[in-house]
């Protein structure tokens, strides 16, 4: 169809999820006019099919598990989880997949919401196709920011189309509990969804192709999570791959495994990676390859595009596929665009407010399993590969932290601190145990702020909280230093 008259804005943002919203808000704060383009729901994947619904499903499961770890409380826990109540809670937190409130927020910051599928149409131009097929063209005076996110990747396995597998979307928006569920993949989505659906009553089998769970974290984390899942009744199998699938006539799904065995389930969830949602956003019109990740500098400018008008934040730039990191990038990008539009200098130094330096060394991540897992910065192995001279210290949290013992009887967990011996500050911290996600930010501040270990001794943890762990880690580091 013929395009309508062009509309001009200072900034156009493709994708109105949390990353796009942060980029738009920061650009508006700089006094720039902004159009925010969205083809699905305002709020994006995180609000409706990922972070929010998954945590809404997981919290009741974890709450019950934690109650059962405390004498006097476990006696009050009887029966099974109220599935209808859990789904109702999930539905409230995703506002029944109604984005009206988030759409109102866009108007509230003074941005223009444009509904439809946005595609680049040459430099600083975006063509938007509405649901009725009508097309409009938007032009950007200063910048276009791509915040279109990522999609789940399904492996090329015979029978996968016939099997109609779940991805993260079905795993978080389903309102019926499969009697038997196979989860393929042992990353964050895999272990969290295995935790959630086992808690809701499914017989869950978790299949990990590698030798352990959460393979990008310290090895001990996967060991703790594996034991926790097994204790909850999950059948955890490592070193196993799916060779083929069958689902004739809508019956149960049969998974043929590479160890020669077969597994029959009612549903199968594949949590086996993500790909950028860049295949149909007009990248070819600006000399880029559709479907590629977008390489950016520390202000989120796309390196391969001349004149610096194209930015990419969030999953599409492949720096850290985490909502909080994408929001951080969106804020940086919006601020950098505002500064450049005003002709101001952009401070991209390590401590500058226009540089995504945390992407390089201080990325936090948390997984809501039983027990919980959290980490920021480098693992011991990553520090070694980076050529850092480092010392690693470990603490068994339940053995030495009074607050942990009070938090859960028989508290089982471990903490690791990786210290840069040359600079005297932290390179990374990893935690696994009940409630550790809520103390992760203290570690993030220490790593991102490059706080000297000598100064951390003066950050006094409140007694008796799990945060007393910090004192025990410092003591372990002191003792290890004295031994050398």
SS3 labels along 330-359: HHHHHHHHHHHHCCCCCCCCCCCCCCCCHH
Is the same domain home to 114 and 188?
no
User: Are residues 312 and 263 part of one domain?
Assistant: no
Work out the average pLDDT over 43-60.
Answer: 97
Whether residue 405 is found in the same domain as residue 439: yes
Of 76, 53, 84, 49, the C-alpha closest to 201 is 84
One domain for residues 142 and 283: yes
Phi, psi (rounded to 5 degrees) for 137: -120, 130
Phi-psi region of 416 (alpha: psi -120 to 50; beta: other; left: phi over 0): beta
CATH number of the domain within which 474 lies: 3.30.390.30
- The reply, when asked if residue 279 is annotated as ligand binding, is no
185 is in an annotated binding site: yes
Q: Is 190 annotated as a binding residue?
A: yes
- Residue 81 covered by a domain: no
Is residue 250 scored above 80 in pLDDT? no
Residue 55 assigned as binding residue: yes
Beta bridge partners of 136: 128
The answer to whether 81 and 200 have CB atoms below 8 angstroms apart is yes
Average pLDDT, the chain: 96
405 is known to lie in a ligand binding site: no
Report residue 203's pLDDT band, with 50, 70 and 90 as the boundaries: very high
Query: Is a pLDDT exceeding 60 seen at residue 4?
Result: no
Q: For residue 351, what pLDDT is reported?
A: 72
Q: Which CATH number fits the domain that encloses residue 21?
A: 3.50.50.60
Q: Are residues 144 and 206 in the same domain?
A: no
Which of 217, 245, 272 is the last residue in one of the domains? 272
- Write the pLDDT tens digit of every residue in 409-440: 999 999 999 999 999 999 999 999 999 999 99
Q: Is 315 annotated as a binding residue?
A: yes
Structural domain for 447, as ranges: 371-480
Residue 1 maps to a domain: no
On whether 118 is known to bind a ligand per the annotation, the reply is: yes
> Are 11 and 105 in the same domain?
yes
Binding residue per annotation — 352? no
d(CA 16, CA 144): 13
Is 63 one of the annotated binding-site residues? no
My answer on whether 243 and 290 are in the same domain is no
Percent of the chain exceeding pLDDT 70 equals 99
Q: Does some domain include residue 169?
A: yes
Residue 250 labeled ligand binder:
no
- Say how many domains are in the chain: 3
pLDDT in tens, 427-478: 999 999 999 999 999 999 999 999 999 999 999 999 999 999 999 999 999 9
Same domain, 25 and 115: yes
Instruction: Judge whether 420 lies within some domain.
Output: yes
Does the pLDDT value for residue 277 go beyond 70? Answer: yes
Say whether both 257 and 386 belong to one domain.
no
- The length of the chain is 484
* Structure confidence at residue 5 (pLDDT): 56
In a shared domain, residues 145 and 291: yes
Residue 86 within any structural domain of the chain: no
Any binding-site annotation on 189? Answer: yes
> Tell me, what's the pLDDT at 269?
98
| Cα distance between residue 99 and residue 83, in whole Å | 25
Say if 232 falls within a structural domain: yes
The last residue of a domain, from among 254, 272, 290: 272
Residue 19 pLDDT greater than 70, yes or no: yes
> Domain check: are 403 and 418 in the same one?
yes
DSSP string, 242-256: EEEEE-GGG--EEEE
- CA dist 99 and 76 (Å) reads 38
- 180 in any annotated domain: yes
On whether residue 67 sits in a domain, the answer given is no
Last residue of a domain, one of 246, 272, 298: 272
Give the separation between CA 170 and CA 172, rounded to whole angstroms: 5
Q: Is 293 helix (H, G, I), strand (E, B) or coil?
A: coil
pTM: 0.95
């Amino acid at each position: 169809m013929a395009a309508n008259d062009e509309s001009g804005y200072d900034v156009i943002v493709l994708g109105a999820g949390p990353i796009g919203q942060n980029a738009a808000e920061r650009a508006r704060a700089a006094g720039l006019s902004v159009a925010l383009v969205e083809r699905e729901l305002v709020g994006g994947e995180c609000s409706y099919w990922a972070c929010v619904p998954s945590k809404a499903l997981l919290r009741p499961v974890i709450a019950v598990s934690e109650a059962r770890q405390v004498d006097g409380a476990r006696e009050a826990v009887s029966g099974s989880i109220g599935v209808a109540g859990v789904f109702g809670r999930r539905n409230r937190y995703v506002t029944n997949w109604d984005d009206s409130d988030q759409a109102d927020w866009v108007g509230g910051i003074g941005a223009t919401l444009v509904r439809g599928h946005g595609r680049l149409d040459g430099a600083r131009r975006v063509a938007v196709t509405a649901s009725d097929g009508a097309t409009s063209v938007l032009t950007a005076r200063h910048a276009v920011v791509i915040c279109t996110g990522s999609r789940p990747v399904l492996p090329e396995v015979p029978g996968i189309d016939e099997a109609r597998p779940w991805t993260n979307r079905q795993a978080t928006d389903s309102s019926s509990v499969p009697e038997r569920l196979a989860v393929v993949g042992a990353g964050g989505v895999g272990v969290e969804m295995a935790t959630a659906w086992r808690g809701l009553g499914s017989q869950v089998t978790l299949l990990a192709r590698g030798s352990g769970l959460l393979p990008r974290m310290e090895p001990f984390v996967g060991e703790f999570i594996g034991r926790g899942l097994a204790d909850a009744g999950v059948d955890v199998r490592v070193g196993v791959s799916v060779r083929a699938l069958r689902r004739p006539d809508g019956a149960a799904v049969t998974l043929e495994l590479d160890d020669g065995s077969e597994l029959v389930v009612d549903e199968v969830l594949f949590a086996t990676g993500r790909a950028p949602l860049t295949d149909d956003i007009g990248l070819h019109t600006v000399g880029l390859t559709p479907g590629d990740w977008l390489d950016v500098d520390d202000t989120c400018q796309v390196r391969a595009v001349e004149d610096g008008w194209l930015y990419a934040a969030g999953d599409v730039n492949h720096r850290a596929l985490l909502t909080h990191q994408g929001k951080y990038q969106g804020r940086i990008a919006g601020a950098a665009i505002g500064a450049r539009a005003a002709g101001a200098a952009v401070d991209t130094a390590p401590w500058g407010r226009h540089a995504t330096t945390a992407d390089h060394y201080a990325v936090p991540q948390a997984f809501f399993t039983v027990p919980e897992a959290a980490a920021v910065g480098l693992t011991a192995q990553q520090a070694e590969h980076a050529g850092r001279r480092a010392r690693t210290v470990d603490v068994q949290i339940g053995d030495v932290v009074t607050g942990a013992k009070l938090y859960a009887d028989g508290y089982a967990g471990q903490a690791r601190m990786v210290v840069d011996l040359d600079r005297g500050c932290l390179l990374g911290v990893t935690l696994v145990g009940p409630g550790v996600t809520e103390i992760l930010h203290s570690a993030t501040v220490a790593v991102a702020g490059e706080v000297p270990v000598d100064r951390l001794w003066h950050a006094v943890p409140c007694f008796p909280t799990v945060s007393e762990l910090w004192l025990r880690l410092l003591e372990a580091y002191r003792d290890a230093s004295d031994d050398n």
